[in-house]
Amino acid sequence: MKKIILMGRTGSGKTTLAQALKGDTVTFRKTQYVHYHDVVIDTPGEYAETQYLSRALALYSYEAQVVGLLLSATEPYSLYSPNITNMVNRDVIGIVTHIDVSGARPDRAERWLRLAGCKTVFFVNSRTNEGVGEILEYLREDGDVLPWDE
């Protein structure tokens, strides 16, 4: 699997999504055994919210092949500046979380992520694993076996 680093503000659902990707209920495995720690890097929301800490995210991004920018569909604003993805020479995907919450605006969150420069946007309810399989498919590399292959 490609390694993904999850970024986003506090409460956007990084740790919950990391757990879902790791397979508390959804699982993935490789022909060669891979520790989930090798596949998902979770970061604290404060790193995305605080200017001087955000530099750490720029450096950590080089540890991963894919950067996942999370934005909750319940957020009234976006942290991400237009075209911020240009700062990173990695694939950057957008992930809209909390799509299940009543009054949530996944459409607006998607527009903000696309404005930030994300070409690919996923929609998840990490509590039920809805949409999580699509991200795992995106991270799949040759030889990886996912539960639904069997």
Q: Which residues of the chain form contacts with Mg ion (CB under 5 A)?
A: 14-15
Interaction of residue 30 with ligand GTP, rule CB under 6 A? no
Interaction of residue 100 with ligand GTP, rule CB under 6 A? yes
- When CB distances are held under 5 to 8 angstroms depending on the partner's kind, the choice from Mg ion, ligand GTP, none that residue 100 binds is ligand GTP
d(CA 11, CA 117): 22
In terms of Cβ atoms closer than 10 Å to its own Cβ (0-12, 13-18, 19+), residue 141 is exposed
Our CA angle for 100, 125, 113, nearest 5°, is 90
Q: Provide the pairing of β-strand 66-72 with 40-42.
A: unpaired
Segment interacting with ligand GTP (CB under 6 A) among 7-15, 22-30, 86-94, 141-149: 7-15
Q: 121 to each of 54, 71, 133, 142, how far by Cα in Å? A: 22, 10, 13, 22
**Which SS3 state, helix, strand or coil, does residue 42 take?**
strand
Interaction of residue 94 with ligand GTP, rule CB under 6 A? no
- When CB distances are held under 5 to 8 angstroms depending on the partner's kind, the choice from Mg ion, ligand GTP, none that residue 94 binds is none
The CB-of-129 to Mg ion minimum distance in angstroms stands at 18
Alpha-carbon dihedral sign for residues 18, 30, 58, 71: negative
Interaction of residue 97 with ligand GTP, rule CB under 6 A? yes
Segment interacting with ligand GTP (CB under 6 A) among 31-39, 81-89, 112-120, 124-132: 124-132
d(CA 41, CA 3): 8
Residue from 61, 78, 125, 129 binding ligand GTP (CB under 6 A): 125
* Residue numbers at the binding site for ligand GTP (CB under 6 A): 8, 10-16, 44-45, 97-98, 100-101, 124-127
